[in-house]
Chain A
Amino acid sequence: MRETFEERKALRAWFAVPLLCVTASCITVKAPDKPIEINLNVKVQQEVVVRLQKDAQELIENNPELFPE
């Protein structure tokens, strides 16, 4: 029996359903509900403290009364 045009159309639609589902699940990208945070505080503090070592050394030498031994 030959399929009518209508039947063929229905069949095609039927096959398209699972295909769509698979594709949909593959490429779905959900936007995160929170903004993406990258915490650089630790590194920044480390760099600042390292940069200040020489200053700190001088501060100690120039204020011996504040740094009793």
Chain B
Amino acid sequence: MSLAVPDEVGSALGTVVPSVEAAPETQSTGWRHRHLLDLDVVTWPEIELVMRTTDAMREVLGRPIPRVPALRGKSVTLLFYEASTRTRVSFEVAAKNLSADVVNIAVASSSVSKGESLVDTVRTVEALGADMLVMRHAVSGAPYLAARTFAGSVLNGGDGWHAHPTQALLDLYTMREHLPGGSVAGRKVVILGDILHSRVARSNIWALTAAGAELWLCGPATLLRGFEAWAAAGGAAGRRFTVTSSIDDALRDADVVMALRIQRERMAGGLLPSLREYTARFGLTRERLELAKSGALVMHPGPLNEGVEIAPDVASGPNSVITEQVTNGVAVRMAMLYLLAGAQAGGVASEESLR
């Protein structure tokens, strides 16, 4: 990839300035989805487009004033049914960096028990002028209901166990940025932890299998229920991944290790004996990390339970790119808000692309 500016300029910056040799008119991939609900319907060229747009947004973030007017006059509403400071702030910063107006709605508890239904809330938000709706909800599938009701664009900020598409995109971006060769194709990527309840894991399965990574899922058998069958079905479709409860097999020669948060509720649900036992068998410690390739990336979607799923010295050690994930998160979300606004303006009908 050559630079369209004098090479000295680009290297002086230290950042990769994207460039495309072909004239824009010959590139057929635009972003054609009105919503971003999950990565199952996003093609690889579309993911590449998001990656390139994120590069440009990263450059914007590096400026003295990290702001562009691309979404000026647009209203973005953040509708969070699940408390989440980090994701919500990330989206808020992303929207503001694009000069959008931001409205924050934090719903304390589930819609049904407290009066206003999700459908009513979405209609109200729309009536108040929202162009885009970023939603986080505890129930899988909730954003699809919102997308049916809302005339603008819905961006899924995490629904139940199901999907967290921007997380998977920023994970992929971070991996590509730090892996030699800039690609995850053929690389061994391990997701470690409570796979069963993880929307991060599910969205990463779609993204990483599309990218051609050698994906491994590792955790206690009780937290892997159903994934062996999915792996068998996915293998048949070319989207293959491996499921194991052996942390040694999983970590051996890994290029990337992504640890997931383990929650206390899993004990109450009878799925795990204790956190202590989880840490002993599956915790990502410095010793275990040595099984992986030297220079392997350590990732975590946050928030971390240091000392439980990940040792503190690993979380802040030289392999860790966890803080980069956060920065990239803002850039990826800027890219997605930008592309969705373009799809809306370009007239992608909501019926054409409900998913």
User: Does A pair with B?
Assistant: no
Instruction: Show the binding face of A for B, using Cβ within 8 Å.
Output: none
